[in-house]
A and B are shown apart, each in its own frame.
Chain A
Amino acid sequence: MKVRDLSKHYQMGEVIVKALKDATFEINEGEFVVILGPSGSGKSTLLNILGGMDKPTKGQIYMREEEITKYDDKQLTKYRRDKIGFVFQFYNLMANLTAIENVELATEICKNPLNIDEVLENVGLGNRKNHFPSQMSGGEQQRVAIARAVAKNPLLLLCDEPTGALDYKTGISILSLLSKINKDYKKTVMVITHNAPIAKMADRVLKMRSGEIIDDYMNEKPIDPEGIEW
């Protein structure tokens, strides 16, 4: 994936807020990427644009030689449907659907989904799949959200502060799960966080501040999530 001069400006009353300024970077398939930055640094904006949920003011994104930034709304919907998997900070599951149904909600509309039971087994919810979100802990809900994103069999898994609402232990287990998915399913995983230690597990780290990418480096030896502490 290639990103060139990506910018996003918001009109807020009379002021123009530059949420993203000329971001340029490249990601290889199968990488585990962590975007690190304080709140308001533009990382969510970047993630939203990469995921086809928002359009940039200028710049280009290429995914496997396809220019995403040229897409119209219809094509963006299709792109989200087939290429992208989202994991949100607050899980955002449908309250009146069970775990498995929440996953099926996503896979029903995409081309070649993975086996749902297998995915749920892999995220450790084999025996909880018929529970409703309200009957599950935050960690379990986030696992459902990850299963929902993975089962679509996307090219890119985008995670917006996936541990933000979770306690330390659960957070680590979620990170381990993401790492496992990155390795087992060979998915490109992109995690945004303000939590610096998480960067240690990444293959590639993008540091952001005030809408700019201030650092872009590869970890020589990414550590196992179990070894992260904060």
Chain B
Amino acid sequence: MNKLNLRLMRLIKSSKGQFLAIMAVIIVGLLVYTALNMAVVNLKNTVDYYYDLTNFADLYVQVVKIPAKSIKDLESKQSIVKAQGRIVYDVPLKVEDEDEKVNVRVISVPDSSENINSLYIVDGEAISNKAKDALVIEQFAKARNIKVGETIIPQIGGKQYELTVRGIVASPEFVYLMEDEQSLLPQPDKFGVIYVSDEFARQSFGLNDGHNEVLINLKSEKDIDKAKERLEEELDKFGVKRIITKEEQLSNRMISEEINQLKNSSNTVPLIFLGVAAIILAVMISRMVRNDRTSIGVLKALGYNNIQILFHYIKYSLFIGIMGSIIGTFTGMILSGYMTKMYIRFFNIPMLQVNFYYKYMFLAVLISSIFCILAGLWGGRGVLKILPAESMRPETPKVGKRILLERINIIWQRITFSWKMVIRNIFRSKKRFIFIILGIALTFSMTFLTMHQWDAFATIFNTHYGEFQRMDYNINFSKPLNDNVVKDIQHLVEAEEIEAKVEYPFEIIYGWKSEVVNIIGVKSKTKFYGFINQEGTEIELPKEGIVFSENLAKFLGVKKGDRVKIKSFIPEREDVYMEVKDIIKQSLGMNAYMDIDYMTDKLLDNELATGVYLNSKDDVKEKLGNVKNISSVQSLDDLKSIFQQFLQLSIFSIGILVIFSGVLGFAIVYNATTMSINERRLEFSSLRVMGFSKKEIYRIITKENTIMTVLGILIGMPIGRIMIRSVEEVFSNELYTLHTPISLKSYIWASALTIIFVALAQLSTLRKINKLDFMEALKSRIS
């Protein structure tokens, strides 16, 4: 081996702690890069393949009723390849526990085999007895333990039908099984989908030869918007309620959202880690070059040129980069397979398309190499400035200047000698000092961000359920009822508070943007909501106009005082224009609110209620569970337990993030401290010769580190806050608004963890001071 390379290998061996620490950072970065990127591609491919195989619909047209012939007629027109009518209704399902409310969406499937949104049979077979057979969606079957051959009893129009489960199926339409946009998380035991024959559905729902939904496949996805507009006009006579595009379809939207978030993380996280690794490397190499000044001089005297020597140091960082990236990308590749499987199981896709994309492995090595070469170049540029003749002479001592603090006599005189030394040390090597502080600050802010997110989920939940929504129970009717119903319910349960509500989906349009949301109508002085506007003051609902939740306003680009168009899904209703009177904070979900009287007056026909909110100590679930016309009784406790489950899932990912931050913090502090001890061998040796004990030297270093840790944490706080706010910006979507106050607990936890990381790194460097041979260090000028 080339002797210069041999020197490099031995150099690496002798600094393996630092080497491994930086490599760990690179490994983490590229592991995340490869795992996430491949998972994104695999997930996307699997979903696309699934959609392709099952003929996923481009458009869903919901109408009041459309005859079969009119559907057939659509097919000949322009870009429409296939149109397929079906019947879709949500009905209650009869279950053993009478108190439990379970709803199913009954969907009809045609006889032909080439369908849009065709089903994938997981277990059992297709419908054979058209009058008695049903297919059940997999998630629901699993959650409720429904097996092939069993009987399920949906209640359709007040009548109970006993159907035999012929098969368990998966559908591309319900990869993510949620009832509607307002559900925050899937509840597969409370809401399911069953498929029945077209004949059965038409008879039981009394639609004769009609359907209430049309699925459409287009020639090309580019035509979706045009087709939507045209269909809206053409099918107007059948009472178009709503047209949903593939993009807007709930399950598909949730998956795309997830894929997008993965994609965002797949590039930002690795960049942070590689950036940090590159900075540590650059600093480390620049220190190394300075320490190797004489050796570099000798190499130059021997006839090595600048490029050869510079490359010697670049190789050091390149070696770390390549090793780290190979290890990282391989583990990432393995992990991506598991990740894709996990996602696909979570999303319920009955097939898996996992491929290894060597492109990402190649890119991982390439990106890492580029970062490391740049770090090597930047760090090693000092090689060029070393003149062989000069490098043989001892370096001129640093100019000892008085620091500012020394001029302030009152303070300076009260500081003990060893503190004076510590403070001077810090101020005289500002670069090193700043590097370590920034390292600690970064560690703190990463940990802080993680701790905050953990905290934020709980905070969001507590503010939403408790401060914002203050009802114990949220009761929904199966159909709108006269608002006298409130009095009826009061007879059934002892209610402390009860109010009627109206909740309906509408399309809200502002400029070219539009969004379908539920508008909720409650009394203007409602007891069940705490509406707080953006200025932080609690408001009542205005008697006229509408109030938006913050994320809805942001999504539509609406400001207080703007007028928006509200489009109803009730056929034949004119659009209504309304002024946005205020914008309120809402951390979960996206909604608009109105005074109930104004809402029924402007948007609905008569005084109706779609449900009630109520506070009660009574056993509401039992008393109202069986009442006809009540479709669901949701209590705060139910929501809390759903949320607990969700939190448990995220403990794992939070843990991983904390470990990642720890790796980062350890690498930075360990390397910085090691470098600093190496550079200060002479200084420490002189102290030892003067009679300082090892303990006293530890104490000096500990004091320095304490000051730096405190400053690092202080600087990390604003950095962490900026990180938190930008993460909130990126990850807020229609479901969550992650704008939560940062709690003291996050500060304390993050500080404690940072101190632990710093202490661990410092402990592993103590050995180096212990081994310090001060006589040798003073005598020898061999580098």
Contacts and interface: CB of A to CB of B under 8 A. Distances in A.
Interface of A: 44-45, 48, 51, 53-54, 74, 77-82, 84, 86, 88, 90-97, 101-102, 104-106, 108-110, 133-134, 148, 152, 160
A79 B301 CA distance: 10
Contacts of A92: 294-295, 297-298, 392, 782
B573 interface: no
B144 to A, nearest CB: 69
Interface in B373-402: 387-389, 392
A6 to B, nearest CB: 14
Given A80-B302, A92-B298, A96-B14, A108 B782 contact: no
Given A77-B300, A78-B303, A96 B10 contact: yes
Interface string B141-185: 000000000000000000000000000000000000000000000
Interface of B: 2-4, 6-7, 10-11, 14, 294-295, 297-305, 308, 387-389, 392, 781-783
Contacts of B6: 97, 101
Contact of A110 (B3, B300, B303): B303
B340 to A, nearest CB: 46
Contacts of A51: 301
B2 to A, nearest CB: 7
A48 B300 CA distance: 12
A19 B561 CA distance: 83
Of all A-B residue pairs in the complex, the 5 with the closest CB atoms, nearest first, are: A81-B303, A96-B10, A48-B389, A105-B3, A53-B389
Contacts of A93: 782
Contact of A86 (B302, B305, B782): B302
A54 B308 CA distance: 19
Given A53-B388, A91-B782, A108-B3, A97 B300 contact: no
Contacts of A134: 782
B303 A80 contact: yes
A125 B300 CA distance: 25
A86 B301 contact: yes
A77 B305 CA distance: 6
Given A96-B11, A108-B4, A148-B302, 12 more contacts: A53-B387, A53-B389, A54-B389, A80-B302, A92-B297, A94-B7, A95-B782, A97-B10, A104-B3, A105-B7, A106-B302, A110-B303
12 contacts: A45-B389, A48-B389, A54-B389, A81-B302, A95-B782, A96-B7, A96-B11, A96-B14, A106-B303, A108-B2, A109-B308, A152-B302
A107 to B, nearest CB: 9
A53 B14 CA distance: 31
Nearest to B13: A96
A31 to B, nearest CB: 22
B136 to A, nearest CB: 71
A102 B387 CA distance: 21
A160 B388 CA distance: 13
Contact of A54 (B2, B4, B299, B387): B387
Nearest to A90: B781
A93 B3 CA distance: 13
Nearest to B393: A44
A97 B2 CA distance: 12
A88 B3 contact: no
A37 B431 CA distance: 42
